[in-house]
Amino acid sequence: MPTPRIAYLARGQLYFKNGDLAAHPIESHFGQDIINRTLQRQQRNEWKTQGASTPFSGNMLWGKEQEDPRRLQVAISAVARAPQEGELLYTLETDRVGGLFTYNWTTDEEKRLFHREALHFRDLTLHPDLKLIAGSLHFPNGTANLGLVQNQNLQPITEGDSVDEAPSWIPGDGKRLLYQSAGIARNPQGYALGLGPFGLHQLNLDGGALAILLEDPKNDLMSPRMSEEGALYFIRRPYEVLGRKPVPLLGVIADVLLFPLRLLRAFFYFFNFLSLTFARKPLTTSGGPRVAGDDEKTLLLRGRVIDAEKAMREGVSAEAPALVPPSWELVRRTTSGEEQVLARSVVAYDFDGAGGVIYTNGTAVYQLGCDGQSRLLFKAKLLEDLIVIP
């Protein structure tokens, strides 16, 4: 069975693997230009801000946060098939601006379709026949609605106090989308308290009809896709009420016993910060000051904070330790309602074009054939999403 072309995301970086060839990162020229311009602006204005970020300076006394010149966030947040053969479609996000781009892997050429301020457009999907691009628009208030790209214009196509994500086109005639949706719970003052369980919805863009396909109060149902035969695929994981995890008795006892140590550590970091600010030297010489942004202990996957370090430690004897627990299941549901668990510890998946599925557990990519047998394709680090390119 030949190895398909695969593009995947890992820690905000886009990688392209052409069959059996080694995967290589795709560098965005637009993103690099943003970094260069930001560095030049900071260097020109550095004399104006020197000494302005001390703990007792005006900006910090009045609660105004200074921009950290070391923090330049430029990340590729979504990838999909592009309208043109030989190209990838992806979105790039920075702290202030986001854009939609295509990349041609034969010419190594990047093309910007459009960009705008505060754009967070994720979970891209391309209609194979109509070449329509849909995705999930995320807003600062915590909501997310589906959006549709038409003539370089981006228009919301769902609304409401909810999080609508992971759209995919339903095969066949018409413009129909599958997606996952969860309602936002708010208190009487309007502050968000958490999300309800994700359910699977269907939207018909031709008539505007909206239908709920599948819901489960005990589980999140995510990343839906429908095969040519009408079978529904999705990832199922146990639903958790954010911020309300049960705390075991041993955890409470440990918190009480470790409180003095944690308090001393907080005092140390405070005075170490003062020493770095005024004397330009840390209180400790072992290892030097920690660099912000290099922490790979945690990873955010579909709203869940994943302890990657713990997963690697517990799975040291495995072929490729999974970042998520076995309760993250890839499920196939037939038109008659029969369900089959195809794989466990699944972070993301896509159809391989030959009746099988390509999926990842976060550290490796597998191909699940029509015979139900899985084979390891390759390993990678901290995979968040993937697509198969015909």
* pTM (two decimals): 0.81
* CATH architecture of the domain with range 5-25+74-240+320-389: 6 Propeller (2.120)
CB half-sphere exposure, 17, CA atoms < 13 A: 18
Give percent of the chain above pLDDT 70.
79
Task: Please name the residues in contact with 240: beta carbons below 8 A apart, sequence gap of 6 or more.
Answer: 304
Say which range, 230-239, 240-249, 352-361, has the weakest mean pLDDT. Answer: 240-249
Q: What's the rounded Cα separation, in Å, for the pair 358 and 356? A: 7
Q: Is the pLDDT of residue 353 over 80?
A: yes
Structure confidence at residue 189 (pLDDT):
78
Structure confidence at residue 289 (pLDDT):
42
Give percent of the chain above pLDDT 90.
52
Q: Is the pLDDT of residue 349 over 80?
A: yes
Across all residues in the chain, what is the average pLDDT?
Answer: 83
Q: Is the pLDDT of residue 58 over 50?
A: no
Average pLDDT for residues 222-232, to the nearest whole number?
Answer: 96
CB 59 within 8 A of CB 51: no
Structure confidence at residue 36 (pLDDT):
76
User: pLDDT band for position 339 (50/70/90)?
Assistant: very high
Say which range, 19-28, 216-225, 233-242, 248-257, has the weakest mean pLDDT. Answer: 248-257
Task: Please name the residues in contact with 292: beta carbons below 8 A apart, sequence gap of 6 or more.
Answer: 68, 70, 71
Domain boundaries, the chain: 5-25+74-240+320-389
**What confidence tens digit (pLDDT) does each residue in 372-389 have?**
889 999 999 899 999 999
Q: What are phi and psi of 85, to 5 degrees?
A: -65, 140
Average pLDDT for residues 66-90, to the nearest whole number?
Answer: 81
Q: Which residue has the higher pLDDT, 316 or 67?
A: 316
For residue 157, what are its two tokens? 């196509």
CB 332 within 8 A of CB 342: yes
User: pLDDT band for position 31 (50/70/90)?
Assistant: confident
**H or E segment and range at residue 382:** none
**What confidence tens digit (pLDDT) does each residue in 260-271 have?**
776 776 666 555
Q: Is the pLDDT of residue 209 over 70?
A: yes
Closest C-alpha to 35, from 76, 77, 79, 71: 71
Q: Which residue has the higher pLDDT, 123 or 151?
A: 123
Average pLDDT for residues 20-26, to the nearest whole number?
Answer: 91
Q: Is the pLDDT of residue 276 over 70?
A: no
User: pLDDT band for position 144 (50/70/90)?
Assistant: very high
